[in-house]
Every structure is written in structure tokens, then in C-alpha cells.
Structure 1
Amino acid sequence: MLNIALFGPPGAGKGTQSALLVEKYKLAYISTGDLLRQEISEGSELGKKAKELIDRGQLVSDEMIVQLIEKRIIASADKNGILFDGFPRTMVQAYILEGLLLKLNTSLACMLSLEVPREELIARLLERGKISGRTDDNAEVIEFRLEEYNNKTKPVADFYKDRNKYIPIQGVGEISEVFDRLVQSIDNTLQKVWFNLVLTGAPGSGKGTQGRLLAKKYNLYYISTGSLLRREIKAGSEIGVKVKDIMDRGELVPDEIVIRLIESEIRQHNNVRGFVFKGFPRTIVQAYILDGLLRRLDSSVSYCIELNASTIESIKRLNARSKTPQARSYDMNTELIINRLEEYNEKTLPVADFYNKQHKFASLNAIGDEKLVFERLSEKVEAAMKMLR
């Protein structure tokens, strides 16, 4: 998801630019003021509570604000992300937003701050007051609002500067000029966001072949847990000795071994556009492990594609591979092949459901020659990349 916070003092042009950004990137728009007014207008329980507070001249609590925002995010699953206008406004709200997005398995890509000189802001707001008749657009209130912004909101800017997510944008100029600056900054940010693809499917579905082709085409780094483990076995390392017997029996290698190898591989090759994970995660537990690992690196799984081949087709392919130099030890035994297919159905199919619930999953027909399947797969990957951006 592309989640952006648009920052700036009153009169900086956040409302105008928000509308343009929402349209271009197909984002859901979240303004706490708009959300409150909507709830009050609908007469919801939250709206009634908020109205009572506002009528008494009190501020709506952060707890109530976060309920409104979470409700709106969940209702916006069909969008490419969220544009936050006017939130977070305090350090407390910045921590709230970080925790809320983490709970929803996403994060803030950047905070864009419209920088406009004080004199220009005052002139804009006074002019707006003449046209709109807004009671808060008079000289006395404007001074107070700007002072309030500087006192409470500057620490929020520092919060995101420390996380390398704060981007100042020159807010003076024609609307189109400011918009172009915002778009350029967003697109630059997206270039730094990893695209992480989980490629799943039963043994013999073609994950290895297609994963390598995808990595080459899209400048992704291919990570195969099987290849990592075989490398350790060939090197005769301590890990290799431990896992050889396990792999020969066609069983899954313990998670603590696999995750150490994957994390090391990611850290050694972090200059790519992202990663293709083949053979991991194979279980729900591993799906959570991968999420946690990527979250530590300020990333996440972008999409999961299942290569769908029939059991008969998988057996045929594995049998054919057993007669090549690429043969695996478990390809030589029909009983082991069947055991691996049963284990996939029991333990790995729930992983597809895990990503499907996050709207990050597609199943692909893997029957056909290598080129045809790759064309289908490329279409899915490009659609997923477009959605991410």
C-alpha cells in the first residue's frame, strides 16, 4: 500500500493537493475533520459522542480519532493506499498512526510537508476568508492557528525526519507546479520500496524456473530456501550436516535454521528492487516469521502468487526432473514425492489463505510451456507492482 501523510500549516494548500494526489494514485482520503463531520451527520454512536464534546468546546480524544481512522482504512481495502490530511498533528498521534498501520500490516511511506513562508500563509488565509466566509480565517485566529501549528506539529516533523520519511516540498507556485513536485517525490520514494513476491505452489509446479526468470526480468533477488540449504550441505557446514538427513526424508527443515539463512541473504543483497521468495513461507508460522523479518527492514510482503498445477502434472514433472542433473534426492522415490505433495496440501495451502485475506494473493494456471506460464506470471506481477504504486 502507498500510505502518505500530507503535512503543512493552515493555508499551505493541503486540501487542493490532496484531491489531485488521491485521483492520481487511487488513494483513500482521510481527513480527521471530514471523518468527524461524517459521523456526526450520520448520527452514529461515535458521531454523537464527538458532537457532545465539540458542543462543549472540548477536543475529541485520540482514542476516538483512531477508531474513526481504523474504520475508514478497513473500508478502503479496494484502494492503493491512504492519504492522511491533517493527521498526525502531535507526537502522540504519530505513535498512534505507526501502531495502527503496523496492526493493519502496512506502514507510512513518507510524510510530505508543504513549506510556505508565514507571510504567504497569512495572505492566502485572509483571501480565503473573503471568499468562503469561514469564521476562522481572520487575522487574530490565523495568528493563533499558525502558532499552535508551530508549537505542536514541529516535533511530528522531527519524528519522521529521524525515520528518513520526512520530505519538504516547496509549496509556493502554481497548483500544477506544486503538484509536480509532490509527484516527483512520491515516485522517488516508490523506487526505494522493495517489491517482495512470495511464489508458492506444489512441488513440481515450476516455482524455481519461474522465480529465476522473474528475478532476472524485474531486478529482484531470488531466494530459494532449498538452494540455500543445499549450498550449506555442499559446503559441509554445521547447518548443512544438520539438515541433510531431514531433506533426504522430504521433511521440512526447522524454522530457526531457515530464517537465519534468509535474513543473511537479504542483508547481503539489499541493493535490488526486492525479492522473490521460493519455498518460504511454507506454513502460517513461517508467514508470520517472514512478516516480522521484513518489518524489521521497514518492508513487507507485497504479493503472493500460487502456481497451480494438478497432482498428476506435478508427479510427471518431478519424475522427469529425476532423470536430469537437476534431480533432487526426493525426486527418486514416488513415496517421497507423494509425501511432499500431501505435506504441501496440509501445511502450505493455508499460507495462500493468509495472503488472500490481505488482498495480496492470486492463483495462476501453471500448465503449459515455460514461456507461456512466464507470460501469465509477468502479467500478474506487473499488475501487483502497479497496485503497489
Structure 2
Amino acid sequence: MLNIALFGPPGAGKGTQSEHLVKEYNLLYISTGDLLRQEIADQTPLGIQAQSIIAAGGLVSDEIIVQIIEKTIIDHPGANGFLFDGFPRTYVQAYILEGLMLKLNTSLNCLLSLNLPEEVCVERLLNRGKTSGRSDDNEMVIRNRLREYNEKTIPVLSFYREKGICYDIDGTRSIEEVTRELDAIAANELKKQPLNIVLFGYPGSGRDSQGKALAERYGLEFISTNEMLENEIRNQTEIGKTVIDLYNNGQQVPDEIVVQLIERRLNANANAKGFIFKGLPRTLVQSYILDGLLKKRGRSISIALELEVPLLDLVSRLDERGRSGHGMSYDSSVAKIIERLREHESKTLPVIAKYAQQHGLVKVDGTGTFDEIFSRLCAEVEKSIKNPR
């Protein structure tokens, strides 16, 4: 997720930049004022409570505000992130937001502060007042608003500067220049986030070569169950010996062994930016296992990709691979190739359907040159980075 707090004095252009960030990164806009007014209009329990406080001349408490924000976030589980406008306003609210983010298993990525000299703010707002008709666009009110903003904001900015996530932006520049800087900061924050990819496709679709290329491009760990099993066999480990016995008896490797190998690999690369999984999950059971292994480490699937290749092309590729001497055991005849493709269809297609529902699976044309296919895959990965789930 991408969670941003946008700050700026009256006249700094927060409205314009908020609109851009929300649209560009598919964020949910959270303005405490707007949310409060909506709760009151809907006559929710919190809205009724807030309305009675306001009617009595009081200020709505932080306790009510944070409940409204939490409710809004929970009601939008599909959001790619949140843009907080005007919150937190105080040092105490900064701590409240941090606690709320922790409770929701996320965090504030950055605070973007649009800085503008007071005289420039006054000039902009007075010019706006000539056409806006707003009664608060007069110099006395403007300077009072600026004074209040500075008094409340300085402690909040200090709170986030200590955390290293406060970015100061020169708001005197053009809208386009400010937007470019905000985009650069957002892009940098998105690159820091874990990226975990599941690569689906029939045998012969090119998952191995494309998966390794993607791992190199994005600095990820490539995890292939076949490769891990082959390493165990080659190193003559206890697991390798068990796998050979299973193969010799025509049996499949049980999930207990696969889980051990995957968990070992995840533990060995605990600080990795992310992983590309090829050959896992093959079954619905394995899909639940993988989700659990990732969740245990505070991770989740970022995107699921499926390479689509016509059946005749798959058979041709696998037959050619078998003739080259570098194929799998099922590449030795067309009959075995067809049997392996059918097995994939019966066991893995239900998994693909599950990922399509839960993780937004993307189908990618797997025909053409290596570079053409790779370019298509990269385009989808870039989209997932920009709009994380």
C-alpha cells in the first residue's frame, strides 16, 4: 500500500496535488472534515455524537475522529492506499495515526509538506478571493489561519522528520514542477515495498527463463520447486534420497517436503525485496500453504501472472526440448507431453481461478520473441508496483 499525508498552508495548492495523487495512484482520499460531515449527514451513531458536540459549541474529540477514519479504511479493503489531507493536525494525532496504522498492519509511507512563504500564501488567497466570493479570503482571516497552521503543524512535521519520512517541497514552483517531485517521491516509496510474484503457465510456456529474467530485473529471489528438488538430489541430502525413492516408485513429492524447502529458502532470504515463485503453487492445497508462509513473514502476493501459449505451440516447444537432450522426463514423447499438459489443467487451473479472484491474476501473451514476452511481463509488473494491492 501507499499511504501519504499531504500538508501545506492555505494557498499551497494541496487540493490540486491531492486530486492528482488520488487519481494517479488509486488512493482513497481521507479528509477528516469531509468524513465528519458525511457521518453527520448519514446520521450514523458517530455522526449523531459529533453533531451534538458541535451544537454545544465543542470540538469533536480525537477519539471520535480516529473511529471515523478507522471505519473508512476498513470499509475500503480494496484501496491501494490512502491520502490523508489535514490529518494528523497535532502531535497527539500523529501518535494516534501511527497506532491505527499498526493495528491495520500498514504504515504511513511519507508526509509531503508543501512549503510556501506567508506573504506568497496571502497573495494567492487574496487573488482567489477576488473571484471565489469566499468570506474567509480576506487578509485578517488568512493570517489567522496561517498562524494556526504553523503553530499546530511544526510539532507534527518534527515527529515525522525524526522518522525520516517527511519531505519538504518548494510550493512556490509551478504546478507541474511540484507534481513531478511528488511523483518522484511516490515512485521511490513504491520501489521500497516488497514484490512477490507467482508465475503461472503450462509446461513449455517459458516460465523458467522469463521468471529468472524478471528476478534479475527487479532484484528478486527466484524460487522454483523443481530446481530445489534437483539440488537436494544432486547434493545427496536426506530429502534428495527420499525424492529419488518417490520418483522411482512413480510417486509425487508430498507437500511436507515442498514446504520444508520453501520455508528454508524464505528464511535464508528474509531480507529479500521479494520473490518470484515458479512451479508453486501447483494445487489448491499448496496455494493455501504459500499464502500462509508469506503471511507468517508479513508478506503477501503482489501479482499473479499467467503466460498464455496455444496448445500446439506448447507441444512443439516441449517436443523440441525433449529432442535437445535438456528436457524433462515427460518431454520424451508426444503422448507423455499431452498427459503432463492434462495433469496441469486438472490440478493447476483451479489454483489459477483462485488467484484470479483473490490477487487479480493477469494473463500475458506468451508468444513471440523472448524480449517481446519479457517486455509484456515487465509492463504488468510495473503496473502492480504503481498500484499495489
Corresponding residue for residue 250 of structure 1:
252
Gaps of 5+ in 1: none
Identity %: 32
Query: Could you tell me the TM-score, scaled by structure 2's length?
Result: 0.72
Asked whether the 8 Å contact 1:126–1:139 carries over to 2, the reply is no
d(CA) in 2 for partners of 1:64 and 1:335? Answer: 60
2:369 is paired with a residue whose SS is helix
Change (3 A) 1:183 1:316: closer
d(CA) in 2 for partners of 1:15, 1:331: 60
Alpha-carbon distance in structure 2 between the residues aligned to 1:22 and 1:61: 21
Q: Is it true that 1:382 corresponds to 2:379 in the alignment?
A: yes
Shift of 1:36: 2.5
Please tell me the residue identity of whatever aligns with 2:372.
Answer: E
1:20-60 CA distance string (max 9 Å, x none): 33344454422232223234345556544543444342322
- More moved, 42-51 vs 357-366: 42-51
Correspondence list, 1:227-306, <5 A: 227-246=227-246, 249-252=251-254, 253-265=257-269, 267=271, 275-282=275-282, 283-289=286-292, 291-292=294-295, 295=298, 300-306=300-306
TM-score (norm: length of structure 1) = 0.72
Instruction: Tell whether 2:369 aligns with 1:371.
Output: yes
In structure 2, what is the Cα distance between the partners aligned to 1:338 and 1:262? 32
Distance 1:266 1:340 in 2: 34
Whole-angstrom CA distance in 1 between matches of 2:247 and 2:119: 70
Render the CA deviation track for 1:83-102: whole Å, top value 9, x for unaligned: 232345421222212433x3
Would you say how many aligned residue pairs link Structure 1 and Structure 2?
A: 362
Once the two structures are TM-superposed, the CA of residue 261 in structure 1 deviates from its matched residue by 1.9
Which has the higher Rg, Structure 1 or Structure 2?
Answer: 2
Question: Structure 2: which 5+ residue stretches go unaligned?
Answer: none
Native 8 Å contact 2:40 2:47 kept in 1: yes
The worse-fitting range, judged by mean Cα deviation, of 15-24 and 146-155 is 146-155
How big is the alpha-carbon RMSD for the aligned residues of Structure 1 and Structure 2?
4.3
In structure 2, what is the Cα distance between the partners aligned to 1:172 and 1:16? 12
1:133 aligned to 2:130? no
Q: Distance in 2 between matches of 1:350 and 1:122?
A: 63
Change in CA separation of 1:141 and 1:365 when aligned onto 2, cut-off 3 Å: closer
Aligned partner of 1:113 in structure 2 is 112
Q: How far, CA to CA, are the matches of 1:342 and 1:50 in structure 2?
A: 60
Structure 1 partner of 2:94: 90
Kept in 1, the 8 Å contact 2:169–2:178? The answer is yes
Quick check: 2:11–2:124 contact (8 Å CA) kept in 1? Answer: no
Matches within 5 A, 1:1-389: 1-7=1-7, 13-43=13-43, 47-56=47-56, 57=58, 58-59=60-61, 60-71=64-75, 73-74=76-77, 81-88=81-88, 89-100=93-104, 102=105, 107-108=106-107, 110-114=109-113, 116=115, 120=117, 124=121, 128=125, 131=129, 132-134=134-136, 137=141, 143=147, 146-151=150-155, 154-155=158-159, 158=162, 161=163, 166-176=165-175, 177-193=177-193, 195-215=195-215, 221-246=221-246, 249-252=251-254, 253-265=257-269, 267=271, 275-282=275-282, 283-289=286-292, 291-292=294-295, 295=298, 300-308=300-308, 321-329=321-329, 338=339, 342=343, 345-346=346-347, 348-364=348-364, 366=366, 368=367, 371=369, 375=372, 378-389=375-386
Partner SS state of residue 254, structure 1? helix
CA 1:387–1:234: 2 relative to 1, 3 Å: closer
- Matched-pair contact (CA < 8 Å) for 1:3–1:81: yes
AA of the residue aligned to 2:167: P
